[in-house]
Amino acid sequence: SKQWYQRRVRAPNKMRFVYPVILKWNLDAAGNRVKGEIAMPLPEEHQSNPPPSKSDKVRIEEWKETKVYLRPYGGHRGDEEFKRQFENVRTAVSKAGLSYKENEEWEAGYTYLRYGRQRVEAMVVDNGSRI
């Protein structure tokens, strides 16, 4: 429930939830996902002075401006069709003569996970970007 979420996850440093939720996946040489990280933007009011983390597994990072190539999808992250969006975006980027980090896949989600169809994006990061 929302009440549990606020008490157990967000307390004692309460912040409003911000979209998108971003998943970064590191890929092995065969293209399998071997490590994942989850990220979300800090609300604007906390960006200049973020609250301290209460866990050594949570950190605040400042990302440089980054160029990503993406394909939006209306459905669920687990859909086979969503998985094909990574292949589609890679093909389009390659055909345009651009390069991307081949050992990463990124996802962005914009809706609550339990509410039917969602807006999710399959993304690859430009080779020149440093995060």
* Residue-wise pLDDT tens digits, 42-51: 888 888 888 8
Output the pTM of the full model. Answer: 0.75
**At 6, is the pLDDT very low, low, confident or very high (cuts 50, 70, 90)?**
very low
Please indicate whether residue 5 or residue 129 has the higher confidence score (pLDDT): 129
Give the pLDDT of residue 2.
40
Give the pLDDT of residue 8.
46
Question: Which whole number is the average pLDDT over 86-100?
Answer: 95
CB 16 within 8 A of CB 2: no
